[in-house]
Amino acid sequence: MHRDRRHVRPRRHCGKRKLVVEVEVRTVRLVHERQHAARVRQLDNRLEVRTDTVIGRVVEQHRHRVRVLVHCAANVR
């Protein structure tokens, strides 16, 4: 399932009639604060997500960029 709650579904390719699955993958990053972490798993749909993946919420996305910029600026002299 995408972040905006759309499902990843297979589609038929127009030219050769092959089944194609479109998946969008973002880079992996660490979650520093436990209260902002969420587990990816639904009890009623266990086969869709095979592991208990921990992801960061959207609220934390911009905060990480600011920390990186501040850290890099502090090291440049």
DSSP string covering the chain: --TTSPPP-EEE-TTT--EEE----PPP-----GGGEEEE--TT-TTTS-S-EEEE-GGGHHHHHHHHHHHHHHH--
With b for 16 or more beta-carbon neighbours within 10 A and e for fewer, the 41-69 pattern comes to eeeeeeeeeeeeeebbeeeeeeeeeeeee
- Asked whether residue 23 is assigned to any structural domain, the reply reads yes
- Asked whether residue 64 is assigned to any structural domain, the reply reads yes
pTM higher than 0.85 = no
Query: How many domains in the chain?
Result: 1
Identify the bridge partners of residue 37 per DSSP, sorted by sequence position: 56
pLDDT in tens, 1-51: 455 555 555 555 455 555 555 666 666 555 555 555 555 555 565 555 555
Q: Which domain holds residue 33?
A: 10-75
pLDDT above 60 for 52: no
- Asked whether residue 1 is assigned to any structural domain, the reply reads no
